Structure 1
Amino acid sequence: MGGERGRGAPVRTVAYAAAGIVLLAGCASMPDSGDLRGVESTPRQDTQVRVFAMPPSEDATPTQIVQGFLEALTSDDPDYKTARQYLTRQAAKTWQPELSTTVLSDGPGAHADTPERQDDDALSYMLTGTKVATVDAQQSYAPASGSYNKLVHLTKDAESGQWRIDAVPQGVVMGKSDFQRNYMSVNKYYFASNNAGAGAGAPPMTVADPVFVRSHVDPATQMVRSLIAGPTAWLGPVVRSSFPTGTALRKDAGPLTPDDRGRLTVPLNDKAAEAGAGRCEEMAAQLLFTLRTLSPAMEEVELRAGGRPLCSLARDGAETVATRGALHQPDYLYFVDDERRLVRIAAGSSGTEPVPAPGALGEGEKALGSVAVARDERTAAGVAIDGRSLFVASLVSGSSLGEPVLRSRAEAEEDRLTTPSWDAQHGLWVADRDPADPRLYLLEKGAGEPLEVRTPGLDGRVQAVRVAADGVRIALVVEQGDRRSLLVGRIERGEDGGPGGRRSVTVLGLRSATPELEQVTAMSWAGDSRLVVVGREQGGVEQMKYVEVDGSTPDVPPPAALTGVKDVTASEDERAPLVAYSVDGIVRLPSGAQWQKVTEGTSPVYPG
């Protein structure tokens, strides 16, 4: 059950390869008494293999009952019916496995009470382990640490003489490798509540909300239920759903699968009938974006309620109803050349000869240290080479530079302005690392009086800033003491209550996306809910890896190794190659290839 489970007895399995079934014989080859020194890990199976547990055998010992129950938690039994057979009738009624999943570094150990505390009809076992993560009732993942200690109590039935568990912790527990086999991360999609990046009448911007579902237990239906139930608590304050309150799948809705034409019919209860045509199409778009990775053959969604069709939407139509950051293909890759000018190369091309970007920043009026380009690629921002001044200029030939829009007063160059970042509303974000007065700023529309962004609960100085394409999530590299961590927060906007009704902007819910890394040196958004990060663990070597915003590790290969990385950039459009600034200059990583030298330069960025 997760990782290497210690020295417990091996679990016998009977595999039916043709049917893709593995039976967990949870009560085979186990000691009759004593402690469980660890529940043996189920070997990592092919993703198509389904695993089912065996029910308790006649006259099973307490040790076998506990072992069998823990094994049953890792099976693909949809309603944990087999696991409930290890419980008393009352315990089976009150146990709620869906409340949480606790992930341990290894499978849970189980230690029986000492003989002095035993009697003929009752016995307790302490489940132990080291926590690495939890998944809550909303299926939201969060890294965890510390020890796990939960009590399991067994009784012997007076009539049948069979041992059963009568007190069990709520939720389920398993080791890391079993979690990886049993669960998969899937993005569900909502809309930015402030319609980030949209003008009047523009389609709403979608926001990815990753959750973990059981990968072999009808994941499509699980995701539809999760989507309709609403966003996770962390994301909820900054997004909205188009499903009317009270909407649910119809009670008799079976497993949801597309028909042979790729059409998925989703039967909803009568509450859904309250939605008008436009809102219904938004609901269908949420479903299409959410289910596209689970059902690649799905081409259309039809929503039904009250025995009649509400609306239907084809896959291509979803991109006109709503927009996603990953749908935007960048025109150019930008960076600073050896003459300290803003230059660019066509994105995705194999070219190695950059050309100056049009406008003042590309004409060399000011020597640049770092740059950022707005998502519409019409405006750029540049920090002077000494880090003291921030300039904004149009990407139009002949445009003037003007005065700095922000200045830092810090004495040391490394304590001044960070590389800036543009959000989906054409806002420009930058941090001033001045030790005497560290601040995070937002310049709305890239101009005007800089607005100080509130960061309650932030302990440390911001060293790097990247805003997601959806405009409601922000990634920050924060330095505290000798540690640099990657934190992800949500952006909440409102009125500050002062004269003139100026907007207030606050970053809340900051959480670590890389708890295992001690030093994060570079990062960039690399998808709807994914970042690419450069850093190292304590006592380790530098590595480049992908991480999810919830702190989980995606089931994708990491980028090819690259030494001496000083900066990295990626596009939310995953077709664009990863680009880095290393000891070799500007390098890129085409799909399926190794790192390739592009040219000399620094500070590579895609728009954003």
Structure 2
Amino acid sequence: MGADRVGGVRRPVRAVVYAACGVVLLAGCASMPDRGDLRDVESTPRQDSQLRVFAMPPREDAPPAEIVQGFLEALTSDDPQYATARQYLTGGASGDWRPERSTTVLAGGPDIQVDRVTERDSTDNYAFTLTGSKVARVDGEQSYTPMGGHYSQPVHLTRDKKSGQWRIDLLPQGVVMGQSDFQRNYMSVNKYYFASNTWADAAPSATAVADPVFVRRRVDAMTQVVRSLLSGPTKWLEPSVSSSFPAGAALRRGVTSLVPDDQNRLTVPLNEKASGVGREKCREMATQLLFTLQNLTPTVDAVTLQGADGSTLCSFESGRAETVATRGSVKRPDYLYFVDDKQRLVRIADTGTASGAEPVPGALGEGVQKLQSAAVSWDERTAAGVGSDGRSLLVSSLVAGSALDAPVLQSQGKAEDDRLTAPSWDARGDLWVADRDPARPRLWVLEQGGGEPLEVKVPGLKGRVDAVRVAADGVRIALVVKADNNSKSLLIGRIERDEKAGERPVVSVLGLRSAAPELEDVTAMSWAGDSRLVVAGREQGGVQTMRYVQVDGSTPEGPPPAALTGVQSIAAAEDDRLPLVASSSEDGIVRLPSGAQWQKVTKDGMAPVYPG
């Protein structure tokens, strides 16, 4: 008989939970079996994020089954260095184990299978196999990656010859836990770096790019995030960004925790690698810190950076950070734009109603050229529109009386759905669009919205690009890709430009990764923050749904948007104070103010967009 799985009732969680109002010991009615009977360690229900969970050490003469289960539960506690979890290991195994190397997330808690062969052959050795369905992995850089497939890792126990106690002497590196335990224990935080070669033309400052990582929620998250920021960007983003912290910069030796003072100022002592920086470079470092910390908590209003000798390198307040770098769009949009029933580009104030809609100044608002979609530059001075047949891309200034020039790009696709996608502007004023012509599908970029189009290289792309949206930072791009089986997935790529003197740049989209792995038919998407998108699509065998997703494929905290049927397009602003807007086949253009339900803007309109 092969390995058996003994499942069913989950044993009581052996942990102490501290709440704001007191101390609670989590216990259940059943007792832990003291023989070989084994129960799987299921992922615990998600609990109040303010609760703190502390692991319990192994009890005297605990059997192998209890040792394994106790160890797995200790991994889900708030023990900073996993000191209690290490008590379940032999000295050698504890020395070799590196919990910080990775966290593997399973759909449920790890299932535990007993190796019966080892059980029969020896009274001093016991073997198990941990199994489950993989959901994701957080690597040593704290970067999240969705995963699938089967998880299977061995765990071996031995009986200590002196004490007679069972301890684990072989285990997988890293940490493993169920999905709900992961959601309780970890949180996503954006750390910020500067775009290497992307500058917003309308801004005198650099562009900050979000780099999401996962940190343990209640294990001094602030210090974790600062250490992660100092260590540099994740490998995926690194080729397109830079950090103002010198290589090797870290917290000063002996600094174990960072806490703001009663004036909401955080002092960050740095090592000698950062001690020689000038004031301008220090201001940039402080800006990275402020953007990162304010994403974690709103309670940090200023930072002071200290050198290795304790001297002050610089002090910087949050209100001044925007003078060094911008996040998202350069400014709050003045208008929401859409194509009206006369197929003109029109606009309304972001707080207005459809009754106040007016044609945009310039040729695209005159109605001579019928449109099916449009995009407006970040500075709201230029618009691009795709003709009603999807064949032509036109660009016009948003100035009264401006003429409509010849199309800047044309598709040869035979059917309307095989021609141009809706366009998208990046932060540097370049215009992106995809040609869906099956004979030669391509992704294009037009520098400053004109000139000879540049074909963008997308190595590893399987299928054709069916929709394009560039992030406000100009470094990341979201693509809906249609595969040969007609499924549509959402992929995030990194934009890289190889610019040589006297030559046109070579533009590539690299590092494609899935941002919505659970959706097999994405119908609409839009950026909705520094590292978040809103997506409409269908799960396998399901109905259309709308949700928020992170660029790394994780699901952000908070409720999804209210349900909406027949979604054709979505528009979200980088400024989350502005309402989500969508085009529905049933209701026309609708918007979703924060904390409200969908409200009708106009029945006669389509393709709503904010600048970008």
TM-score by length of 1: 0.96
Letter in 1 for 2:138: V
Match of 2:569 in 1: 567
Measure the CA separation in 2 of the matches of 1:281 and 1:349. Answer: 39
What is the aligned counterpart of 1:126 among 126, 129, 153?
A: 129
Aligned partner (choices 229, 232, 239) of residue 230 of structure 1: 232
Give the letter for the 2:492 counterpart: V
* Bigger mean CA deviation after superposition, 533-542 or 22-31: 22-31
Contact 2:267 2:305 in 1 (8 A): yes
Give 1:431's aligned residue.
434
Could you tell me how far apart the structure 2 residues matched to 1:417 and 1:313 are? 47
Residue aligning to 2:204: 202
Could you say what secondary structure the match of 2:275 adopts? Answer: helix
Partner of 1:602: 606
Distance in 2 of aligned mates of 1:218 and 1:132: 26
Q: Contact 2:465–2:480 (CA<8 Å) still a contact in 1?
A: yes
Instruction: Look up the match of 2:487.
Output: 483
Aligned to 2:138: 135
Structure 2 matches for 1:151-162, cutoff 5 A?
151-162=154-165
Residue in 1 aligned with 2:368? 365
Alignment partner, residue 348 of structure 2: 345
Amino acid at match of 1:505: V
Contact 2:17/2:52, CA 8 A, preserved across alignment: no
Q: Structure 1 pair 262/209, CA: closer, same or farther in 2 (3 Å)?
A: same
In the other structure, the counterpart of 2:411 is 408
Return the letter of the residue paired with 2:383: A
Contact 1:205 1:324 in 2 (8 A): yes
CA contact (8 A) 2:568 2:583 kept: yes
CA offsets 1:478-511 (integer angstroms, 9 cap, x no match): 00022100000000000479xx511000000000
Return the alpha-carbon distance in structure 1 between the equivalents of residues 30 and 261 of structure 2: 42
Q: Is the 8 A contact 2:265 2:300 kept in 1?
A: yes
CA apart distance, 1:27: 13
- SS at the partner of 1:566? strand
Please tell me the residue identity of whatever aligns with 2:332.
Answer: Q
- The 1:280/1:14 distance shift into structure 2, 3 A limit, reads closer
8 Å CA contact retained: 2:431, 2:449: yes
Match for 2:312 among 309, 312, 320? Answer: 309
Moved more, 217-226 or 317-326: 317-326
Partner Cα distance (1:340, 1:534) in 2 = 24
* CA 469–445 in structure 1, closer or farther in 2 if over 3 Å, else same: same
Check the 8 A contact 1:10/1:40 in 2, yes or no. Answer: no
Structure 2 alignment gaps of length 5 or more: 1-6
What do residues 5-51 of structure 1 show as CA deviations (whole Å, max 9, x unaligned)? 95333335555545665556799822233363411433322111000
Asked if residue 507 in structure 1 is aligned to residue 509 in structure 2, the reply is yes
Shift of 1:195: 3.4
Q: Structure 1's 468 and 357: CA in aligned 2 closer, same or farther, altered over 3 A?
A: same
Q: CA deviation at 1:149?
A: 0.4
Give the Cα–Cα distance (whole angstroms) in 1 for the partners of residues 22 and 201 of structure 2: 47
Paired-residue identity, %: 67
Question: In the alignment, residue 487 of structure 2 is paired with which amino acid?
Answer: R
Please state whether the residue corresponding to 2:187 is helix, strand or coil: strand
Match in the other structure for 1:580: 582
The within-5 A match list for 1:143-154 is 143-154=146-157
Q: 2:96: which partner in 1? A: 94
The 5-angstrom pairing of residues 100-499 of structure 1 reads 100-115=102-117, 117-198=120-201, 202-305=204-307, 306-325=309-328, 328-350=331-353, 352-480=355-483, 481-495=485-499
Determine the C-alpha separation between the residues in 2 that align with 1:332 and 1:326: 13
1:589 is matched with which residue: 586, 592, 603?
592
Q: Distance in 2 between matches of 1:472 and 1:15?
A: 43
Q: How does 1:524-535 map to 2 (within 5 A)?
A: 524-535=526-537
Name which of structure 1's ranges 423-432 and 8-17 shifts more when overlaid on structure 2.
8-17
Q: Distance between the aligned counterparts of 2:163 and 2:329, measured in 1?
A: 60
The answer as to whether partners of 1:191 and 1:204 remain within 8 angstroms in 2 is yes
8 Å contact from structure 1 (residues 21, 49) kept in 2: no
Q: Give the distance between the partners of 2:98 and 2:53, measured in 1 at CA.
A: 21
Structure 2 CA distance for aligned equivalents of residues 209 and 78 of structure 1: 24
For the residues of structure 2 that align with 1:250 and 1:144, how far apart are their CA atoms? Answer: 36
Deviations 1:65-93, CA, capped at 9 Å, x for gaps: 10110000000000000000000011111
Check the 8 A contact 2:334/2:350 in 1, yes or no. yes
Give the aligned partner of residue 78 of structure 1: 80
User: Aligned-pair RMSD on alpha carbons?
Assistant: 1.8
Q: Distance in 1 between matches of 2:173 and 2:28?
A: 21
| Partners of 2:11 and 2:28 within 8 A in 1 | no
Secondary structure at the counterpart of residue 286 of structure 1: helix
* C-alpha distance in 2 between matches for 1:20 and 1:438: 62
The superposition leaves residues 171-192 of structure 1 with CA deviations (integer Å, 9 ceiling, x where unpaired) of 0000000000000000000000
Question: CA 1:50–1:346 in 2, change beyond 3 Å: closer, same or farther?
Answer: same
> Which runs of at least 4 in structure 1 moved beyond 6 Å after TM superposition?
24-28
Secondary structure of 1:507's match?
strand
Q: In the comparison of the two structures, how many residue pairs are matched?
A: 601
In structure 1, the residue matched to 2:549 is 547
Paired with 1:315 and 1:154, the residues of 2 have a C-alpha distance of: 53
Aligned to 2:62: 60
Q: Distance in 2 between matches of 1:337 and 1:268?
A: 56
Between stretches 122-131 and 16-25, larger displacement belongs to 16-25
The structural deviation recorded for 1:353 is: 2.7
Contact 2:18–2:53 (CA under 8 A) maintained in structure 1: no
Farther-moved stretch of structure 1 (345-354 vs 270-279): 345-354
TM-score by length of 2: 0.95
**Corresponding residue SS for 1:180:** helix
Shift of 1:111: 1.3
Q: Distance in 2 between matches of 1:99 and 1:24?
A: 29
Q: Is 2:43–2:177's contact at 8 Å kept on the other side of the alignment? A: no
1:120 Cα deviation after fit = 1.3
Provide Cα deviations, 1:542-581, integer angstroms capped at 9, x if missing partner.
0110000000000111111111111111011111100001
Deviation at 1:253, TM superposition (A): 1.5
**Which amino acid counterpart does residue 158 of structure 1 have in structure 2?**
K
Amino acid aligned to 1:87: L
1:18 to 1:455, Cα distance in 2 relative to 1, 3 A: closer
User: In structure 2, what is the Cα distance between the partners aligned to 1:591 and 1:75?
Assistant: 35
Question: Do the aligned partners of 1:24 and 1:51 also contact (CA within 8 Å) in 2?
Answer: no
Residue matched to 2:34? 32
CA distance in 2, matches of 1:246, 1:18: 39
Aligned partners of 2:38, 2:443: CA distance in 1, in Å?
Answer: 52
Aligned mates of 1:196, 1:18 — CA distance in 2: 46
The letter of the residue matching 1:131 is K
Equivalence for 2:3: none
* CA deviation after TM superposition for structure 1 residue 429, in Å: 0.3
1:268–1:26 Cα change, 3 Å: farther
For the structure 1 residues 156 and 546, does the alpha-carbon distance in structure 2 shift closer, same or farther, using more than 3 Å as the test? same
Residues 316/578 of structure 1: CA separation in 2 closer, same or farther (3 Å cut): same
Distance in 1 (alpha carbons) for counterparts of 2:105 and 2:8: 16
Q: For each residue in 1:276-295, what CA deviation from the matched residue of structure 2 results, as whole angstroms up to 9, or x when unmatched?
A: 11110010000100011333
Q: What code does the residue aligned with 1:541 have? A: V
Task: Give, in whole Å, the separation in 2 of the partners of 1:380 and 1:534.
Answer: 25
Once the two structures are overlaid, the 10-residue window that deviates more, 229-238 or 28-37, is 28-37
1:112 deviation in Å?
A: 1.5
